[in-house]
Structure 1
Amino acid sequence: MAYKSIIANLAIDAPPAPLVKLGIELAERFGAHLVGLAAADVPPLVATGNGLVYEGEVMQIQRTEIEKRLAELRAEFERLVPASVSSEWGQAVCSPTRFLSESSRAADLIVTGGGGGENVYRAVDIGSLALGAGRPILIAASNAEHVMAKTVLVAWKDTREARRAIADALPFLAGANRVVIVTMDTDRHESIRDSLADIAAYLEHHGIMARTELIPDEADGHRLLAFAHSIQADLIVSGAYGHSRLREWAFGGVTRSLIESNGIHRFMSY
């Protein structure tokens, strides 16, 4: 497997250069076509203090501002991408999450920043994207211009999502100097060690040597991140939402912690 079409998703309110440069690096590394995308939407209108809604005027002003910013992002993307990299541009005035999800059908990998808070009209909802895109997502560390992926932490849990993530991440894992497969579980049952051994064997069949680690603790995103930093990992590979998304966001969970952490690259599949 190789990534032959990569989307670089640019947030309308973030500086574009770091993510574009990161996308260029990946496109050159994998010999891929690079697609730059950006979108934002006009939020629903509310009445003024006088009870009046300037619908046409307000919406047109906001739409014009969005279109101006999209044009700026396109110009920056086209300025930065060298002629040696096959590329194209796409933009829309609509929900950025929906636009990116729909565009992902033509890509092997989505590269995006860590989101933009609660404003879903101007930034991608990473959780919804993970559930709906049907493609692996690389969430770039804040302002990073490179993905070295020399030490990769694979967060293992015997779920469909984790299996999918490992298969999707094979191009990164194959290029790593060190791969560590870790699972967190209070149960020391032999089946857990067996599943770790099976994943290590799977990777070995692909020419990837990995060591395994069982951490006898409850699955916790902050502990996982601390372990990643302790081994100096620069990429975490994980499945997204081993539990339901509602449960994860209501009570916290590994996926939520990883999405909210911008200090390391995160690769997710669902």
Structure 2
Amino acid sequence: MSYKTIVVNLAVDAEPGPLVKLAAEMAHRFDAHLIGFAAADVPPLVATGEGLVYEGEVMQVKRQEIEKRLAELRDTFEKLVPHSISSEWRQHVCGPTRALGLVARSADLIVTADGGDDVFRALDIGSLVLGVGRPVLVAAGNAEHLLGKTILVAWKDSREARRAVSDSLPLLAEAKEVVVATMEEASGEDVRNSLADVAVFLEQHGIMAQTEVFAGTADGDGLMAFARSVHADLIVSGAYGHSRLREWAFGGITRSLIGENGISRLFSN
């Protein structure tokens, strides 16, 4: 398995340079086709006590502002991606999460940075991860490289974690050290057997991994502390959540990982 098509999502209100460099480096590493992508939308008309905000003329101005910014992002993407890398650009005046979900149909991997709060201008990472059906790599803040020297696989014997291990095989194969770890208050035989099976699976793909059980209640702070203790520069994790009244409800660890900005994370669902 390899990543043959990578989509990099550029937020309209963020500096694109570091993320483009990171994605281009990954495309070069895996000999992948790179799709640069950006989207934003004009908020709809809002009724207030004084009437409608964003009248037609105002909305047209805002759309032109978005189109200008998308053109700037395209220019940055095309300047920073070497000609030796197969690449293309796509953009939409549309909600970023929905539009990226459509583009991702033809991709093996999505690369993005942390989302913002404005759903019209920033990606909702949680909704994307749970709905897109593709692995999502969320780069650490302003990172220009994904070294992947030490990768921590946050293991839980679940469908999501198994998908995450399979989806991250190209990165795991290039790592110098792979640690498959789970957090348990007590290490029973079932836990040890589960980790051993993952290690055997990885070994069959030519990847030697060490397994760890670290004591404690499963939470995001504990996982991050362990990640830093093994000097991980990438965390691979299943994303656990479900749709509730159109809002994504997450378990504590997934919420913490989405909010973490110091270490790159790869999510699968």
The separation in 2 between residues aligned to 1:180 and 1:251, in whole angstroms, is: 24
| Residue identity matched to 1:153 | L
For the residues of structure 1 that align with 2:214 and 2:21, how far apart are their CA atoms? 36
Provide the TM-score with structure 1 as the length reference.
0.95
Amino acid at match of 1:81: V
Unpaired segments ≥5 residues, structure 1? none
Select between 147-156 and 248-257 the one with higher mean Cα deviation.
248-257
Contact 1:249 1:256 in 2 (8 A): no
Structure that is richer in strand per residue: 2
Q: Deviation digits for residues 49-79 of structure 1, max 9, x if unmatched?
A: 6324452012111111100100000011111
Aligned equivalents of 2:206, 2:48: Cα separation in 1:
63
Matched letter for residue 196 of structure 1: L
SS of alignment partner, residue 7 of structure 1: strand
The residue matched to 2:46 in structure 1 has which SS? coil
Identical counterparts, % of pairs: 66
Report the alpha carbon displacement of residue 25 of structure 1 after superposing the two structures with TM: 0.2
Post-superposition shift, 1:132?
A: 1.1
Tell me how far apart the structure 2 counterparts of residues 251 and 136 of structure 1 sit (CA, whole Å): 17
Task: Map 1:65-80 to 2 at 5 A.
Answer: 65-80=65-80
* Contact 1:174/1:207 (<8 A) preserved: yes
Does the aligned pair in 2 maintain the 1:6–1:27 contact within 8 Å? yes
CA drift at 1:45:
2.1
Q: Superposed, which structure 2 residues align to 1:25-44 within 5 Å? A: 25-44=25-44
Number of residues of Structure 1 aligned to a counterpart in Structure 2: 267
1:183 positional shift: 0.3
Q: What's the TM-score once normalised by structure 2's chain length?
A: 0.95
SS in 2 for 1:244: strand
Partner of 1:55: 55
Tell me which residue corresponds to 1:14.
14
Change (3 A) 1:54 1:191: closer
Give the 5 Å matches for 1:1-270: 1-47=1-47, 50-116=50-116, 118-241=117-240, 243-244=241-242, 253-270=252-269
**1: CA distance, partners of 2:50 / 2:250:** 41
The 3 A distance-change label for structure 1 pair 245 and 224 is farther
| Contact kept in structure 1, 2:22 and 2:146, CA below 8 Å | yes
Work out whether residues 150 and 233 of structure 2, in 8 Å CA contact, stay in contact via their aligned partners in 1: yes
Distance in 2 between the 1:54 and 1:24 partners?
A: 38
* Long gaps (5+) in structure 2: none
